Amino acid sequence: MSLAASDQVAGAPRPRFDHDAIVIGAGMSGLYQLIRLRELGLGAVVFEAGTGVGGTWYWNRYPGARFDSESYSYGYSFDPELLQEWSWSEHFAPQPETLRYLNRVADKYDLRRDIRFRSRVAAAQYDEVARGWTVTLEDGSHHACRFLITAIGVLSAPTWPRIEGIGSFRGQSWHTARWPREPVDFAGKRVAVIGTGATGVQTIQEVAKTAGHLTVFQRTPNWCAPLHNRPITEEEQRRIKASYPEIFRRCQETFSCFLHTPDPRGTFEVTPEEREAFWERLYASPGFGIWVGNFRDMLTDRAANREISEFIARKIRQRVKDPAVAEKLIPKCHGFGTKRVPLETNYYEVYNQPNVLLVDCRETPIERITPTGIRTSEAEHEFDIIIYATGFDALTGAFDRIDIRGRDGLALKEKWAGGARTLAGMLVDGFPNMFMLLGPHTALGNIPRSIEYNVDWVTALLRHMREHHLTFAEARPEAVAAWMAHVMACAEGLLTFEVDSWMTGVNRNVEGKQTRTIARYAGSAPAYRAWCDAVAAEGYRALTLA
Ligand code: NAP
Task: Yes or no: say if 458 and 536 are a contact pair by the CB < 8 Å rule.
Answer: no
| Residue 447 confidence (pLDDT) | 96
How far, in Å, CA of 116 to CA of 50, rounded? 9
Tens of pLDDT, residues 154-200: 999 999 999 999 999 999 999 999 999 999 999 999 999 999 999 99
What's the topology of domain 3-51+117-157+394-471?
FAD/NAD(P)-binding domain (3.50.50)
**Over 60: is that where the pLDDT of 6 sits?**
no
Mean pLDDT on 338-366: 98
- Report how far residue 17's alpha carbon sits from residue 130's, in angstroms, rounded to the nearest whole number: 9
Instruction: Report DSSP letters for 319-385, one per residue.
Output: H-SSHHHHHHHS-SSS-TTSS---EESSHHHHTTSTTEEEEETTTS-EEEEETTEEEESS-EEE-SE
In this structure, are strands 543-545 and 473-475 parallel, antiparallel, or unpaired? antiparallel
- Relative to the CA of 502, which ligand 1 atom is closest? 3
Alpha helix (H) residue ranges in 10-91: 28-40, 56-59, 71-74, 80-85
Q: Report the alpha-carbon distance of residue 439 to residue 398 in Å, rounded.
A: 10
Ligand 1 center to residue 247 CA distance, Å? 29
Query: Is pLDDT of 216 > 80?
Result: yes
- What pLDDT, on the 0 to 100 scale, is given for residue 270? 98
Mutate to test the pocket of ligand 1, among 73, 90, 98, 155 (most ligand atoms within 8 A of CB): 155
Q: CA of 39: how far to CAs of 31, 42, 266, 444, 462, in Å? A: 13, 7, 47, 26, 11
Atom 17 in ligand 1: residue holding the nearest Cα:
161
pLDDT at 16: 83
Q: What is the pLDDT of residue 81?
A: 98
Residue-wise pLDDT for 372-385, tens only, equals: 999 999 999 999 99
Cα separation of 192 and 380, whole Å? Answer: 12
Residues with CB under 6 A from ligand 1: 66-68, 155, 161, 163, 194-200, 202, 217, 219-220, 340, 361, 366, 389-392, 502, 508-509
Residue 8 has a pLDDT of 43
Ligand 1 centre from 255 Cα, in Å?
24
Reported as a single tens digit per residue, the pLDDT across 88-141 is 999 999 999 999 999 999 999 999 999 999 999 999 999 999 999 999 999 999
Q: How confident is the model at residue 10 (pLDDT cuts 50, 70, 90)?
A: very low
11 pLDDT tier (thresholds 50, 70, 90): very low
Q: What is the 3-state secondary structure (H, E, C) of 228-256?
A: CCCECCHHHHHHHHHCHHHHHHHHHHCCC
Query: Tens digits of per-residue pLDDT, 57-75?
Result: 999 999 999 999 999 999 9
The full set of domain ranges for the chain reads 3-51+117-157+394-471
Task: Give the residue, out of 219, 388, 438, with the most ligand 1 atoms within 8 A of its beta carbon, to mutate for a pocket test.
Answer: 219
Q: Which atom of ligand 1 is nearest to the CA of 391?
A: 23
**Mind giving me the DSSP string for 94-133?**
BHHHHHHHHHHHHHHTT-GGGEESS--EEEEEEETTTTEE
**Average pLDDT value over all residues in the chain:** 96
Smallest CA separation from ligand 1 atom 37, residue: 198
Residue nearest to atom 24 of ligand 1 (CA): 391
Q: How far is the CA of 158 from the centre of ligand 1 (A)?
A: 10
Confidence band (pLDDT; 50, 70, 90) for 418? confident
What average pLDDT does range 487-514 have in this prediction? 94
pTM value is 0.96
